[in-house]
């Protein structure tokens, strides 16, 4: 069974930065590089929002308008990880952030959650002074 683990969330002041990491557990034997990966966030009482995604390999990347120019998604294949660098954070970025992986090999990505089969447990990001 594929297990994704997010890390890197926490408390940050407005204007600050965080880098979220998404890794597959060793037991999963899941090579993130072969699959599209997405980052999403969830606000209480609202639908999940797609923020950014990256296609298999160093494929095309996409960003939601709400984070474009502030966030950067990237891969580190040596570490079997995908990162979301978040800069210029705002109070309204406070949410639980999730990474998700496609189950179909070698696809480009979309910001729609239908594409993703495997989800992490989420990491809390709080932007507050």
Query: In Å, how far from its chain's centre is CA 75?
Result: 11
Query: Looking at residue 66, what is its pLDDT?
Result: 94
pLDDT band with cut points at 50, 70 and 90 for residue 27? confident
What percentage of the chain reaches a pLDDT higher than 70? 100
* Whole-number average pLDDT of the chain: 95
The sign of the torsion formed by the CA atoms of 64, 67, 70, 74 equals negative
Query: Looking at residue 26, what is its pLDDT?
Result: 80
If we measure between CA atoms, which residue out of 30, 33, 17 comes closest to residue 90?
17
Q: pLDDT tens digits for 43-80?
A: 888 889 999 999 998 789 999 999 999 999 999 999 99
For residue 7, what is the DSSP state? E
Q: Does position 1 have pLDDT exceeding 90, yes or no?
A: no
Token output for 103:
């189950």
pLDDT band with cut points at 50, 70 and 90 for residue 9? very high
Whole-angstrom distance, CA of residue 21 vs CA of residue 75: 10
Whole-angstrom distance, CA of residue 7 vs CA of residue 68: 21
Query: Looking at residue 25, what is its pLDDT?
Result: 84
Query: Looking at residue 94, what is its pLDDT?
Result: 96
């Amino acid at each position: 069974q594929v297990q994704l683990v997010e890390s890197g969330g926490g408390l940050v002041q407005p204007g600050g930065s965080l880098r979220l990491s998404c890794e597959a557990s060793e037991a999963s034997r899941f090579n993130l590089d072969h699959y599209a990966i997405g980052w999403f966030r969830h606000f209480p009482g609202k639908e999940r929002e797609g923020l950014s995604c990256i296609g298999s390999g160093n494929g095309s990347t996409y960003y939601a308008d709400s984070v474009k120019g502030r966030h950067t998604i990237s891969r580190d294949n040596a570490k079997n990880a995908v990162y979301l660098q978040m800069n210029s954070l705002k109070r309204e970025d406070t949410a639980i952030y999730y990474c998700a992986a496609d189950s179909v090999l070698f696809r480009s990505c979309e910001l729609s959650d239908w594409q993703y089969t495997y989800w992490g447990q989420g990491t809390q990001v709080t932007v507050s002074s």
